[in-house]
Amino acid sequence: MAIATTSPVTGEVLRRYEELTPEELEDKLARAAAAAASYRLTGVEERAAWLQHAAERLEKEIESVSRMITTEMGKTFRAAEEEVAKCIHGLRFYAAEGPAFLRDMDADAGRVGAKQTFVSHQPIGVVLAVMPWNLPLWQAMRFAAPALMAGNVGLLKHASNVPQCALYLEELFRDAGFPQDVFQTLLISSGSVEQVLRDPRVAAATLTGSEPAGRSVATIAGNEIKKVVLELGGSDPFIVMPSTDLERATDVAVKARCLNNGQSCINAKRFYVHQDIADSFIEMFVAKMGALVVGDPMDEATDVGPLATESGRQDVMGYVDDAVGKGATVLLGGERPDGPGWFYPPTVLTGVTPQMRMYHEEVFGPVAQVWAVPSLEDALHEANGHPYGLGSNLWTEDEAERELFVRDVQSGMAFVNGNTTSYPEIPFGGVKRSGYGRELSDLGMREFMNAKTVWIGQDA
């Protein structure tokens, strides 16, 4: 794919970028390694101050940065503003809490025959981040903020359709006061990732993206014996039980499916509704999905903008056509609109079966699948039968159902009576084919640190 900004609204190429030459890439790797050798020695209070400066600058530029995000990948301007605000919060969170996360952890010296023993968390060096386009600032920020606070150096290989966002991040950290070359953007193709990851100057990698991309990066990292964190696909279940408030549950269900134009790994995609309330849920859900305004993402009245890429819309259309051809029922949407751009309407299907591709795979667009189920146990059985296990969602006022859900749902995150989302304060990540490792919180920071055991013996 060419490195370019292409408007999802019109399909027009707005700006093209040249890929780094081999010599330019080598120079960036050399500078990253040199920066890592000195940056690891900076004080944690210095790093925290630089993160604060980055937050202050981003806050001043929230309007222009939000417009850049919307221009490059098509989410509504309102959603872009929310994404930038989350980045500001993440920067401030790690500036405030990072020093405590980095303190040595004392252990019981007497039990191991030492005068003193503790664990020191130390940076591992240069970390490669391979990031997607759907949350072009937040996805990268939830790696960058903890990594830079930890004393690591970052190399960002962003998606090829959001180069302006990628270059802005390098500029943001540089202008905030971080030492030169501590965070660099690499304008390279996916084909160059292996070369960078195999380079001995790169210590580890983190990837957010598709399952095939994750398999590739994990294979390379395993061959090189390098740490990698993977946040891959998701087809999150959204389970609704009779005791819940259906008005509220359907409001959130619409948001959970169509947030970010339906292009998020933690969008709810599979809706399992107790059979006693299934008809009412479906009627309300379809009505609210149908009321969403699809259009220009810069227009305040728009709820759903275009999909980010032409190929992405083709994929969504392929899933729907496959399901309909094999007997699924379309209750809403399901047809590509006429006109320019990569728009696709909110769509609701029932009757999806294992013979259909969308039953097993992730549909990255505003397409919901709804099933009626006789019990929570049946909903969990269906939900857990899917290969992905990122987030999950339950709506109930029954305490026993909550406990069963939290205990038995196979996912990295379980949300009850609220929309699945990410916060810097709590861990983010999945199980099964949704990947491994964690982002955010103290766990995300320590993924790319050496937990060094220190044992000091008694004086002679």
Asked if 258 is an active-site residue, the reply is: no
Can you tell me the distance from the alpha carbon of 413 to that of 105, in angstroms, rounded to the nearest whole number?
27
Catalytic residue, chosen from 72, 83, 265, 439, is 265
The token duo for 431 is 């199980």
363 vs 342: CA distance, rounded Å: 15
Burial 26-51 (b: 16+ CB within 10 A, else e): eebbeebbebbeebeeeebeebbebb
Burial grade of 354 (CB within 10 A; 0-12, 13-18, 19 or more): exposed
- List Cβ neighbours of 24 (8 Å cut-off, separation of 6 or more): none
Q: 81, 83, 97, 231: which is the annotated catalytic residue? A: 231
The angle at the Cα of 255, spanning 250 to 261, to the nearest 5 degrees, equals: 140
Q: What angle do CA 414, 415, 416 make, to 5 degrees?
A: 120
- Count helices and strands in the chain by DSSP H and E runs: 15, 20
Residue found under tokens 């339950």: 394
Query: 121: helix, coil or strand?
Result: strand
- Reply yes or no on whether 59 is catalytic: no
Separation between Cα atoms, residue 101 and residue 150, nearest integer Å:
9
Specify the DSSP element, H or E, that contains 127.
strand 126-130
Q: How far apart are CA 139 and CA 322, in angstroms?
A: 31
Task: Provide DSSP, 68-83.
Answer: HHHHHH---HHHHHHH
Contact 289, 250 (CB under 8 A): no
DSSP code string of 248-272: HHHHHHHHHHHGGGG--TTSEEEEE
Which of 377-396 are b and which e, b meaning 16 or more Cβ less than 10 Å from the residue's Cβ?
ebbbebbeebebbbbbbbbb
CA proximity to 102, closest of 117, 119, 116, 126 = 119
Question: Which one, of 451, 441, 386, 413, lies nearest residue 100 by Cα?
Answer: 441
349-354's contacts with Cβ under 8 Å and 24+ in sequence apart are: 349/320, 349/323, 349/324, 350/282, 351/327, 352/323, 352/328, 353/326, 353/327, 353/328
> Annotated active-site positions, please?
231, 265
